[in-house]
Amino acid sequence: MATTSSRLAKFFTPLVLDLENQVARAKVVESVEVIALFDSKLMTIGEKRNILLGSARGEYISYIDDDDVVSSHYVERILREIENPIGPDLVTFNIYRQAVGTPDMLCRHRIDVKTDGKVGSDGSWVSPPNHIMVWKRNIAQKARFPDKNWMEDYDWSRGILGHVKTSVNINEVLYWYRMQIELAEAKGVPWKYHGRPIVG
């Protein structure tokens, strides 16, 4: 995960500590790494993501955005799916998206979705997997993030999806995606986690 000075104390540091605690509780400190990158907005998001990808040494990789929140059992639940001799190329899970001025939405990321995204029959947003999902590192490295700050994750994930042969889906929310977090704070919009407001 990457961050900037404006998000370091309030969002980034608590997120890193949470992940490190989850890794410690799962007793996988030797095999799960939490990689973080701090800069002063001198690099594009795509460039930072490429640096993080190049630094990873594990068999799997997943990005967590610095202002988002993960489930309290995020690490343990993912490990359950990949800890077998021949793990899947990709692990998908549900995301709960929150944005200013639009209703909260459940997002389901599925390998079999070929469109850019659509509202499903249950009212959730259904779309192809993105950078937040869990990818085998050798597949993740088959494409580079473009050197830009917007849609870099879209371009990258579409560049590697064709290499995925096996996938597994965790049909539960493991990630709370918070859009426009600075705008939300300015407007006093509370973010929710398991239905409860997130106090920053």
List, in order, residues 6 or more apart from 51 with CB less than 8 Å away.
37, 43
pLDDT at 54: 94
| Helical axes 13-25 vs 74-82, angle rounded to 10° | 50
The model's pLDDT over 131-169, given as tens digits with 9 standing for 90+, comes to 999 999 999 999 999 999 888 888 999 999 999 999 999
pLDDT at 196: 52
Mean pLDDT, all residues of the chain:
85
The model's pLDDT over 84-103, given as tens digits with 9 standing for 90+, comes to 777 899 999 999 988 777 77
End-to-end CA distance of the chain: 19
Whether 185 has a pLDDT exceeding 80, the answer reads: no
pTM of the complete model:
0.86
Kindly list the structural domains of the chain, giving each domain's residue range(s) and its CATH number in brackets, ordered by start: 2-198 (3.90.550.10)
